[in-house]
Structures are given as C-alpha cells and as structure tokens.
Amino acid sequence: MSYKTLLVHIDDSTRSEARTAFACDLALKYEAHLIGLYVVCQDVLRPILTGEESVDLGANEARHARQANDAQTRFTAVAQRAGCPFEWRAPSGPSVETAVLHARHADLLVLGQEDPENPATHVARHFVEDVVMSAGRPAVVLPHAGRIATFGESVLVAWDSGREAARALADAVPLLKRARFVTVVTVSKRPEDSTAEDMDVAGYLERHGVRASFASVPRQSGMGTGATLLNQLSDRHADLLVMGAYGHARARERVLGGVTHTLLETMTVPVFMSH
C-alpha cells in the first residue's frame, strides 16, 4: 500500500500556502500525484458575517472568481517550485458534498484545522469533520497555528481495539514505515493490565516493517482521553498522532465522539484520522 494520489484542500487563507508546501513534500516522498482542491464558503451571507456592507450577488461572484484565480496562482507557484506533478480543481457545488466527492478518488487528504480568528478558513460548519467522516479516505489535519518543523518522525498511535482505530492503523502504515519511533498508546483506567492484543498489533506492524513500542497510560480523574493524548504527545515529543475518527450522523447533523472533537479543537501537531 502507498499513497499515489494526494488531495490538499485550498481556501483563501494564508495557511493554504503552507498546507500546499506540506502536501508537495509528502507527494514527493511517495511519488504521488497532487490535486489542489479549491473549496470555500458558499454562504451568500458571508460578507455580513465578515463585516462587509454589501451582499451584491454579482460583485460576490466576481470577487469569488478573483480569489479562485489568486489561489490557483499561489498553489501552482508552490507546486512548481517543489517539482511534483499536480493539477488544480475548483469545482462548483455545495462545499462539503463537493469536497467529499473529490476526496473519494484520493489515497490521502491534507486538510487544515479551522482557525476561529480567521474567517477565510471557514468553509462550512464542521467542514473538516464531515469530510473525514464521509469521504472514506484517511486525512492528515494540520493545526492552524505554529510551524511544522518535522512530520512523522515520532508517531503516537491511539489504540482502543475499536474498528476506527484498526482502520486508522492500517491506513497509516506507509507513514509508520518511514517513522523513526512509533508508540502505540492505550488510555485506560487500569494501565497495569496488558493483553495478548498488544502482541497481535506488534506482529501486524512488524510484518509491515514497523517496529513499535507500547504504553498503557492512566486516564486521570477529571481529564478526558483527548487531553491525556495531548499530554502524551508533548511528553514524548511526538510530531504526529494517528487515531480513528469516531462519530455518527443524527438528525442530519454530525455527532462526534468526545476524543475526536477534543483533538480537532485543540490539536498541537498534525493528526492522521481515518473513519
């Protein structure tokens, strides 16, 4: 298994260039084709939300065309400098549904965490969550703050024996094979308990050429699993978290698991998610 088609989400924010550079680097490592997918907020009321006075539809369409052209120019410049094969897509249609449709034809997605201080990063309510949960493809979600100095050298894998965790582990194998350190962490109330399943996971990874260490971490009173994982990332100087994305649809609204929600809200390093 390898990643031969990468798709990176492009918006009008300043983070898009860094996200593109990250995706280009990843594409070169895996000799992959890179797709830049331009999807932005389709809400006609967005000018009001961002403090603009007019909602003239004609002017709004013209502005959108200019912004899309500018975004394509920036994306193309970064991709050409990197020297990776690429293509640009700026499809029309509802944001989430359009992104999901294109994402399903990629091996790996590169998305960005929404920045509450930057309206240009807002595409739709729960955009990242819905794409991850609906596309059927793994995604690397990059934090909106800070610079990514290293990626995938020291990896923390969140393991709870569930379907989503197993899916994420399998989807992340190409990344894990390149890592220097891989630690499989289970957050539990009884960290002293060790099970034969650790041996099963270790054997699975070793057959893929991945040597991993294992740790069972206590979940402290008053601290959730998500916060515990964030602490482990810091303590172990990890630069990537691999985890299953948990959630379900209820009344046409996405209901995320507590850990998934916590990590998407407060991530400090890239998070590899799969559902």
Compute the distance between CA of residue 153 and CA of residue 135 in angstroms, rounded to an integer.
Answer: 27
Do the domains at 5-142 and 154-270 have one common CATH topology? yes
Instruction: Name the CATH superfamily housing domain 154-270.
Output: HUPs (3.40.50.620)
Q: Is 179 left (phi over 0), alpha (psi -120 to 50) or beta?
A: beta
Tokens of 226: 């998500």
Compute the distance between CA of residue 267 and CA of residue 143 in angstroms, rounded to an integer.
Answer: 6
Tens-of-pLDDT digits for all 275 residues of the chain?
Answer: 789 999 999 999 989 999 999 999 999 999 999 999 999 997 754 544 444 545 565 677 788 889 999 999 999 999 999 999 999 999 999 999 999 999 999 999 999 999 989 999 999 988 999 999 999 999 999 999 878 999 999 999 999 888 999 999 999 999 999 999 999 999 886 655 556 667 789 999 999 999 999 999 887 777 788 889 999 999 999 999 999 988 755 434 444 467 888 888 889 899 999 98
Helix (DSSP H) and strand (DSSP E) numbers for the chain: 10, 12
Ranges of each domain in the chain: 5-142, 154-270
Say if strands 253-256 and 247-250 run parallel, antiparallel, or are unpaired.
antiparallel
Angle between helices 57-82 and 15-29 (to 10 degrees): 40
Threshold 0.85, pTM exceeds: yes
Q: What is the CATH number of domain 5-142?
A: 3.40.50.620
The pLDDT of residue 248 is 57
Compute the distance between CA of residue 17 and CA of residue 71 in angstroms, rounded to an integer.
Answer: 9
The pLDDT of residue 195 is 61
Beta bridge partners of 108: 6
Compute the distance between CA of residue 112 and CA of residue 10 in angstroms, rounded to an integer.
Answer: 9
Residue 257 DSSP one-character state: -
